Amino acid sequence: MRNVIRTVDVDKPIDEVYDQWSRFEDLPRLMPGVASVRQLDERTTSWVVVVAKERREFAAVTTEQRPDERIAWKGLGIPAHAGVVTFHRLATQRTRVTVQLDWEPVGTFDVLGDRLGLVSRQVDRALRSFARHVEGQTVPATGLRGTIEPDDAPVPTTVAMAGVPSARPSPSHGVPDDDLGRGADSPTQLPAKGWSAVLKRSFKQLKEDNVPILAAAVAFYLFLSLIPALGASISLYSLVAEPEEIIRTIRDLTVGLPPAARTLLEDQAERIALKERSTLSVSLALSVAAALFSASRGTQALVKALNIAYDEAETRGFVRLRVVSYGLTIGIVAFVGGVVIALVKVGNLAEDLTGGGEVVTALRWPVLGVVLVLVLSVFYKWSPDRNAAKWRWTTPGALLAAVLLAIGSLLLSLYTSNFANDEEAGVLGAVGVLLLWLFVSAYIILLGAELDSELEHQTARDSTVGDERPMGQREATMADNVAP
Residue 262's alpha-carbon distances to 50, 336, 366, 417, in angstroms, are 46, 19, 21, 12
Q: Coil, helix or strand for 418?
A: helix
Tell me the mean pLDDT in the region 193-210.
93
Tell me the mean pLDDT in the region 417-426.
54
How many other CB atoms sit within 10 Å of the CB of residue 269? 24
Residues 210 and 132 in one domain: no
Residues 317 and 408 in one domain: yes
Which of these three, 90, 106, 136, is where a domain ends? Answer: 136
- Total domain count for the chain? 2
Residues 102 and 215 in one domain: no
Q: Which DSSP state fits 142?
A: -
For residue 87, the model assigns a pLDDT of 94
Starting at the earlier edge strand, list the strands of the sheet with 34-39: 2-10, 94-103, 81-91, 70-76, 54-66, 44-51, 34-39
> Distance (Å, rounded) from C-alpha 420 to C-alpha 433?
9
> Distance (Å, rounded) from C-alpha 4 to C-alpha 350?
48
Is 155 inside any structural domain?
A: no
For residue 173, the model assigns a pLDDT of 38
> Distance (Å, rounded) from C-alpha 433 to C-alpha 148?
73
For residue 157, the model assigns a pLDDT of 44
Which of these three, 83, 111, 136, is where a domain ends? Answer: 136
Which of 80-84, 230-234, 447-451 has the largest mean confidence?
447-451
User: pLDDT averaged over the chain?
Assistant: 80
Residue bearing the bigger pLDDT, 150 or 396: 396
pLDDT of 343 strictly over 80: no
Q: Are 154 and 360 in contact (CB under 8 A)?
A: no
Which positions ≥6 away from 177 have C-beta within 8 Å? Answer: 78, 167, 168, 170, 183, 460
> Distance (Å, rounded) from C-alpha 249 to C-alpha 253?
6
Q: What percent of the chain has pLDDT over 70?
A: 73
Is 194 inside any structural domain?
A: no
Please report, for the domain that includes residue 104, its CATH number.
Answer: 3.30.530.20
Is 381 inside any structural domain?
A: yes
Residues 207 and 95 in one domain: no
pLDDT in tens, 393-408: 999 999 999 999 989 8
| 72 band by pLDDT with thresholds 50, 70 and 90 | very high
For residue 341, the model assigns a pLDDT of 65
The residue among 222, 211, 206, 213 whose CA lies nearest residue 438 is 222
> Distance (Å, rounded) from C-alpha 51 to C-alpha 67?
29
Is 31 inside any structural domain?
A: yes
pLDDT of 249 strictly over 90: no
pLDDT of 427 strictly over 60: no
pLDDT in tens, 325-339: 888 888 877 776 666
Q: Are 461 and 185 in contact (CB under 8 A)?
A: yes
pLDDT in tens, 51-69: 766 777 888 999 999 999 9
Is 469 inside any structural domain?
A: no
- State which residues form the domain around 292: 201-458
Is 248 inside any structural domain?
A: yes
Residues 91 and 226 in one domain: no
Is 6 inside any structural domain?
A: yes
Q: Coil, helix or strand for 59?
A: strand
pLDDT of 258 strictly over 80: no
Is 307 inside any structural domain?
A: yes
What b-and-e string marks burial along 280-303, b requiring 16 or more CB atoms within 10 Å of the CB?
eeeeeeeebeebbbbbbbbbbbbb
Residues 267 and 392 in one domain: yes
The residue among 146, 126, 133, 141 whose CA lies nearest residue 16 is 141
Tell me the mean pLDDT in the region 302-327.
90
pLDDT of 479 strictly over 60: yes
Residue bearing the bigger pLDDT, 432 or 427: 432
Q: Coil, helix or strand for 90?
A: strand
Q: In terms of C-beta density within 10 A (0-12 exposed, 13-18 middle, 19 or more buried), how is residue 26 classed?
A: middle
Q: Are 463 and 456 in contact (CB under 8 A)?
A: yes
> Distance (Å, rounded) from C-alpha 185 to C-alpha 54?
9
Which of these three, 86, 101, 136, is where a domain ends? Answer: 136
Residues 254 and 397 in one domain: yes
Residues 130 and 244 in one domain: no
Residues 255 and 398 in one domain: yes
